[in-house]
Amino acid sequence: DASDIEKGTYPHYMLKEMDEQPGVVRKIIQEYSDANGELAIDASILKAIKAADRLYIIAAGTSYHAGLVGKQYFEKLAGIPVEVHISSEFGYNMPLLSEKPLFIFITQSGETADSRQVLVKVKELNYPTLTVTNVPGSTLSREADYTLLLHAGPEIAVASTKAYVAQVAVLAIAAYVAGQSNGKEVNVDLKQELAIVANGIQTIVDSKEELEQIAEDYLKIARNAFFIGRNLDFCVSVEGALKLKEISYIQAEGFAGGELKHGTIALIENGTPVFALATQEQVALNIRGNVKEVVARGANACIISMEGLNEEGDRLVIPKVHPLLTPLVSVIPLQLISYYAALHRRCDVDKPRNLAKSVTVE
Ligand code: G6P
């Protein structure tokens, strides 16, 4: 069938889709540039964002994790407060809303029933809605007032990779453009920084042997695994843990480094794998302190740091990118490590048990 042809020589869609990620970022830069070569979004969408006093991001799964990063972008680059909600929770636990909310639905497929039920509900209340999706003409795109497209190309593997990167990149652009238009002073040339990100992602997808080795060293026989980070690294930790759970069936948890001592550290035994992200300068020392704590209790720690913040003994050093954009790059090794862990354990990478690509029941 057509989808077989698309996979080409790749053994799995997931591997192909991870390899496409540098190109996806470049495509997004192009699609979201105006005639003068400046980053831009549709004028009506910009107006809707600027008219809002608060953004409510609604999403599920990996898209929810992209939303956690997006919150920081809108707050830091545009100065607009943001709440991020799991769509299946929002319906029966609606927070007190601001006066002028804008609802942003992040959904790769545009078909997730949990997210759609929120869309239907807030439309009844006459609130403006924006869908960020990979699928033009999808249900959530058709039913929302506005759509921002991800331009990532079809994502077939159940575990989302390139769509996450696309979501984070598009949210960064939307936040940046809104901030610029509001005259917010941010010392970032986002277009240039995203181009640097694309190159950084390329470097990592070209390091497959190293990532396969990490998967073997840390996860081949692991029963569980932990992902820790602080600030933006925390947002990526939860996505890293989800990737690993989805395709390798290893019980995994991602959490804030500072929370270790409040419970999870009780689970650390001899050989427990702990992946620690250290890409955020102001918390790099704290996360390294957490690593010392788990190593003292026998953990097998894998530090993934960023150029400029790296220290001897770090297992992987990702290329340097703008501190706000590290999620686009630090997630890539976690995707690839999960992929190879799943292969080592002979799991069906593209079609993991019990999961569906898009879940159209509530
Ligand atoms: C399913 C998929 C996940 C995905 C989630 C949300 O559970 O298995 O990979 O993140 O749905 O999907 P959406 O299409 O709304 O982003």
Residue 360 Cβ < 6 Å to ligand 1:
no
Longest Cα–Cα distance of the chain, Å, equals 58
| In the chain, % of residues over pLDDT 70 | 99
Distance CA(50)–CA(41), nearest Å, equals 12
CB of residue 63 inside a 6 A radius of ligand 1: yes
Q: Would you state the pLDDT for residue 5?
A: 55
pLDDT at 4 over 80: no
Q: Which residues contact 358 (CB under 8 A, 6 or more apart)?
A: 108, 109, 111, 112
- E-strand ranges in 33-97 read 54-59, 82-86
> How far is Cα 131 from Cα 5, in angstroms, rounded to an integer?
30
User: What is the model's pLDDT at position 91?
Assistant: 85
Query: What confidence score (pLDDT) does residue 282 get?
Result: 95
Burial 46-84 (b: 16+ CB within 10 A, else e): bebbeebebbbbbbbbbbbbbbbbbbbbbebbbebebbb
128-181 pLDDT, tens digit each:
999 999 999 999 999 999 999 999 999 999 999 999 999 999 999 999 999 999
Percentage with pLDDT > 90 across the chain = 92
The rounded distance, in Å, linking the Cα atoms of 85 and 65 is 10
158 Cβ below 6 A of ligand 1: yes
- 4 Cα–ligand 1 center, Å: 22
Confidence of residue 6 (pLDDT cuts 50, 70, 90): confident
Whether the pLDDT of residue 2 is over 60: the answer is no
User: Can you tell me the ipTM of this complex?
Assistant: 0.98
User: How far apart, in whole angstroms, are the C-alpha atoms of residue 305 and residue 360?
Assistant: 38
Task: Please write the tens of the pLDDT for every residue from 37-58.
Answer: 999 999 999 999 999 999 999 9
What is the distance in A from the centroid of ligand 1 to the CA of 229?
Answer: 23
More confident: 68 or 184: 68
Q: Whose CA is nearest to atom 5 of ligand 1?
A: 61
The DSSP secondary-structure symbol of 270 reads T
pTM exceeds 0.95: yes
Neighbouring C-alpha atoms within 13 Å toward the C-beta of 299:
26
Q: What is the average per-residue pLDDT within 301-330?
A: 98
Q: How confident is the model at residue 201 (pLDDT cuts 50, 70, 90)?
A: very high
259-274 pLDDT, tens digit each: 999 999 999 999 999 9
Q: Point out the residues that are catalytic.
A: 357
Does the CB atom of residue 133 touch ligand 1 within 6 A? no
Cα 357 to ligand 1 centroid, rounded to whole Å: 6
**Mean pLDDT rounded to a whole number for the chain:** 96
Which pLDDT score is estimated for 1? 45
What is the Å distance from ligand 1's center to 10 Cα? 23
pLDDT of residue 140: 98
Question: Each residue of 78-126: pLDDT tens digit?
Answer: 999 999 999 999 988 899 999 999 999 999 999 999 999 999 999 999 9
Per-residue pLDDT for 358 more than 90? no
Q: Specify which residues 303 forms β-bridges with.
A: 276
